[in-house]
Every structure is written in structure tokens, then in C-alpha cells.
Amino acid sequence: MENSGYGGDGVFRSLRPPLVIPPDPYASMIPFLFRNISSYPNKPALFDSDSGETLTFSEFKTTVAKLSYALNNHLGITKNDVVLIFAPNSIQYPICSYSIVALGAIVTTVNPQLTVEELLTQIQDSKPKIIITVQELYQKVENFGLPVVFLGSKSSRNGCFSYQDLISKSGSVSELPNVAIRGDDTAALLYSSGTIGVRKGVILSHKNFIAASQMVTSDQRLMGEQDYVHLCFLPMFHIYAFGVILYSQLQEGNTIVSMGKFSFHGVLNNIDTYRVTHLWAVPPVILSFTKQNVIKKFHISSLKVIISGGAPLGKGLLMECAKRFPHVFVLQGYGMTETTAAISMGSPIIEHGVFSGSTGRLLPGIEAQIVSPHTNNYKSLPPNHIGEIWVRGASMMQGYLNNPQATMLTIDEHGFVHTGDLGYLDDEGYLFVVDRVKDLIKSNGFQIAPAELEARLFSHSEILEAAVIPYPDNERGEVPIAFVVRFPNCFLTEEDVKRFIANQVAPYFQLRRVIFVDRIKKSASGKILKRVLVEEIRSRI
Ligand code: 4UV
């Protein structure tokens, strides 16, 4: 049992070396990010594979300093103000994020696919002072009455500012702002529906990011290797790219290649052009790799590691991918927005040639309990027993914004985040995520909150009851489907319901199927029995 990290107190502890978080003066993210760059000022920090722009670490720091100065001087952004970024991936994304955070202000990010109404919900909740966006998305933000900063070169006009102009106005500024920031000050509000309900602002502190970055890159430091190049096509608004790829890798002195839109050929071309070593993906991307026969035509010898995360990756798919890239380690990472980055991750050091389907061992400083979801006495389970995964460590969120009730239900008094995922740790401390007990759908790695779709369905005058659950899909992993009870003598069709929803939500939120039923199964207390519906659907496929 001791090989699993399982202790007599029912807690599994990480088998990796202990977590070391450097003390002050690096309590805040941005001084920490740039703490070592005098050793590699001319090394490329960022490439933009779409625009061809590039920045060395020294230029990156200076640009962050200039934009921070401009945000403060021209837009009045100061400590604790919220700035919203509504944009696709680009080299400017991390620059804007870190310029905001360097001021002690708070960055909140949004999926560019969201509708105006969905965006409004986040604006009302997080109360940003300004919005940073691109010309193509301006229509969605123009009526909020907030100052807008445009990425790109568009010139400043009428409450709109150009990123480029702001940087130019900062002249010779090259030092980061001098603001007193504490480790537990908020750095980011990333939205997640968590284990239940609608999207909520996950409060992540400076210390959360610093700790997470040290966890995620601990194996790299053990291997003593540097000069990794990470390709980032995963959306930068999401914790996986925001925390694991951007912040964690940049603070380690690794290079990021930003890619605005995923395409299979684009990825292979970029691996070749930028000599990419690390590719971060979600299972649907891994699936697309296994279907292609053209890999041999590209020069991808630089590639060392492919990491899949965000949703379960079957062992078969993992092995198929490893066959296509014989010289590459294919690993899994497992994490949540609420844990800032990864909880567990495979390792090229200890897992050479092992394709168990696990999500790797717990990262440094992470403690876990596996708790039976069927009992009320919270007895933690030993190795090889499946239960709900609870995790604790320095990267756990501070709570949900404006939602103490949801915070209380997610983090307990001992600091454990209840993930809503089912899994087990084996005899050697490998974590297997096998299912989900929470009310969440993961489609293409994106979160879909069933409660949000249900609320929209309930708003339809001909719908009496509705329940939304995940439905397996080969390409996307899962898609949402709805069980709907119509009011008597209503003749609403499946197409009517799908169209009604499609008009209100981002494309990835759309319903794949609508099943009309006479009633929806509920518990004695009137709660919809989602698990029963999920099991029923699974048994029919
Ligand atoms: O909050 P969120 O949208 O966050 C994420 C975070 C993903 C990753 C992936 C690899 C990393 O190295 C890392 O640091 C972060 O997706 O959704 C959290 C939920 O997604 C499911 C699980 O239900 C989480 O509670 N999930 C994430 N990764 C996996 C996963 C996985 N490897 N296997 C199964 N489910």
C-alpha cells in the first residue's frame, strides 16, 4: 500500500518530490514569471503562428510593462479592477493577461463563441471595467457601454483603444509596475460550472498559479532539460491553456507557439517550423491524429511529448496515438478549473512505454482521498476502490465569486475540493478517472452546464419539464441531449426545440437530440434522477 502513497489517515500523498514554492518577493505571479529571464533574455518566449510575430523573453517583459503602464495611465485600471478578455488565441493574449495581473487587477476570460446574452451574464457577475477583444467580435460587446481595447492595429476612437497605440504611448517604460500584491490576492476569475448549476467565477490567486506552475513543471526540472517549445492551439480562455501551458511553461523559460485555430495540417506544419517539443491536446484531437495517414510527410522529429486532458482518453485511443508517433511519449493530465491546473499527470521519466490509461500520479504537494459517493459517513477508501476523488493542495481555488453556497458544497472544512469525478488510485499511486457523478457535460474539452440548457428549456411556454444529460459521441466525447415533457395538447417537435436552443447559445452548446417523454424520473424529494437517465441511455447504445 505504501507504494500507492496511501497513509493510515486515509489520505493519498504525492509520490513525487515535495512542492517547493519560492518565498516572497515572488508572492505575485508576474515578478515570479520573469524571475530568471536575465539568464535567457534573447530566447524566444512567444511565437504567433498566425501573424508571424515573435517576442524574446526580454521583449515579452518590456511589452507587459508597457501595457500595464498604459492600462493604468490611460484606462485607470488599478488593483482589484476586473478586465475581461474576449478573444481568440494570439501572442497578445498572455501579454494582456499578465499586464492586467501585474497591476494587481483581475483577468476574467470568455469563450469567444458565447452569445451576447451569455457574455452579459459573466459581465454582470464579474463587473469588468474594460473589455479587450478583436475587431471581429466587436459586435458582441459594443452595447455593454464599457471601454474596449482592440488587439491588432486598429486606431483608437470613441471609447475604443488600440492595443498597439497603448503600447506606443508607453514610450520607454520597461519596468513592471510597483504594486503591493499578496499571494492570496485574486489574479483571475475563470468560469466553470463546477459540480452543479450554472457557470460560476472560480477565484484563483497569485499563489494558486505559482504553486500550480511548480507542480506542472516538476518533472521537467528533475530531467534538467530546457528549451522546450509548447504548441498552444487549446483555447487560452480555459484553465488548461491559461494555467498549464501558458503560465506554467513561460515561467520555466519555455517557448510558446500560439495557434488561433486547430487544424491537423497546421499543427504538423507548426511542429516542423517551430521545432515543437510538447503538444497539449484533448481526446477529440488525439482521435483526429489517429485517423490521419499523412504524418510521415511532415518533419516532426522534434516532438517529444503529447499530453491529453480535459476529458477521458480511452486506453485504446492512447495506444493508437502512440503507434502513430512512435518516438513520442503520450501521457494524460487530469485537472479542473477549481484546481488551477493539473492534479495528476503522466511522466516521461517513469512511464516509458507504459500505457495503462491512468492520468498519472498526483503532482507534488497534492493530497487525495477517494470517498464512496453512496455513503454519508465520508469514509475514505484504500487503493483500487472506486469513489469520488477529493483533492487538496496549494493550487485549490479560493472559492466561487458571489456564491458562498456553491463554495461550501465544493471545498470542505479540511480544504478538500470535491471534484465530482469518480476514480481510484492503484497500488502504485496511479490515478484512474473512470466516470463523473457531477452534473456536467464535456464536449470537445469544453464545459456544458446542463442547468443552463434546462433553464432555457423551462423558459419555453410549451415545455413542462426538461432534463439535459451527456450522450456519447465519437468525435466530441459527449454531446448534450434533452428529455422533454410537453404541456398537454402541445405539438412541439424535436426541430422546434433544437432551434429554440440554437438561437440562444454558443454552437457547442446545441442539443444533439430531444427525446419527448411523459414524465421524468425523480427521487422522493422531487430531484431529477440524472444518473438513472444517463445509465438508461448508456444501456440503449
Ligand atoms: O474545469 P474543467 O473545464 O478543467 C479541465 C482541465 C483540464 C486539464 C487537463 C490536463 C492538465 O494537465 C490540466 O492541468 C488540466 O478540463 O473541467 C474539469 C473536469 O474535466 C474532466 C473532469 O470531469 C474534471 O472534473 N477531466 C479533465 N481531465 C480529465 C477529465 C481526464 N484526463 N480524464 C477524465 N476527465
Q: Are residues 520 and 396 in the same domain?
A: no
Q: Compare 347 and 92 and report the one with higher pLDDT.
A: 92
Q: What pLDDT was estimated at residue 23?
A: 75
Residue 68 lies in a domain: yes
Please check the confidence at residue 159 and state whether its pLDDT lies above 80.
no
User: How far separated are the first and last CA of the chain, in Å rounded?
Assistant: 38
Q: Are residues 471 and 340 in the same domain?
A: no
Lowest-pLDDT range of 84-88, 409-413, 469-473, 518-522: 518-522
Distance 307 CA to ligand 1 centre (A): 12
Distance 310 CA to ligand 1 centre (A): 3
Those residues whose C-beta lies under 8 Å from the C-beta of residue 438, and which sit 6 or more positions away, are 194, 195, 196, 419, 420, 421
Q: What is the CATH number of the domain that holds 201?
A: 3.40.50.12780
pLDDT band at 286 (very low <50, low <70, confident <90, very high): very high
% pLDDT > 70, the chain: 97
> Last residue of a domain, which of 425, 454, 470?
425
Domain containing residue 476: 440-540
Distance 175 CA to ligand 1 centre (A): 36
Residue 304 lies in a domain: yes
**Is the CB of 235 inside a 6 Å radius of any atom of ligand 1?**
no
Residue 492 lies in a domain: yes
Q: What pLDDT was estimated at residue 291?
A: 84
Distance 235 CA to ligand 1 centre (A): 14
**Is the CB of 317 inside a 6 Å radius of any atom of ligand 1?**
no
**Is the CB of 343 inside a 6 Å radius of any atom of ligand 1?**
no
Q: Are residues 452 and 421 in the same domain?
A: no
Residue 531 lies in a domain: yes
Q: What pLDDT was estimated at residue 8?
A: 86
Mutation test residue for ligand 1: of 285, 334, 478, the one with most atoms within 8 Å of CB: 334
Q: Compare 80 and 296 and report the one with higher pLDDT.
A: 80
Distance 311 CA to ligand 1 centre (A): 6
Q: Are residues 245 and 378 in the same domain?
A: yes
Which residue shows C-alpha cell 478549473?
337
For residues 429-451, give the mean pLDDT: 93
Q: What pLDDT was estimated at residue 220?
A: 87
**Would strands 229-232 and 367-371 be described as parallel, antiparallel, or unpaired?**
unpaired
- Phi and psi (nearest 5°) for 127? 50, 60
Q: What is the ipTM of this complex?
A: 0.99
Residue 174 lies in a domain: yes
State which ligand 1 atom lies nearest to the alpha carbon of 192: 1
Q: Are residues 187 and 110 in the same domain?
A: yes
Interior angle at CA 74, CA 72 and CA 78, nearest 5: 25
Own/partner long-range contacts of 40-45 (Cβ < 8 Å, ≥24 apart): 40/253, 43/227, 43/253, 43/255, 44/255, 45/250, 45/255, 45/256
pTM for the whole structure: 0.95
Q: Are residues 362 and 410 in the same domain?
A: yes
Total number of domains in the chain? 2
For residues 73-89, give the mean pLDDT: 98
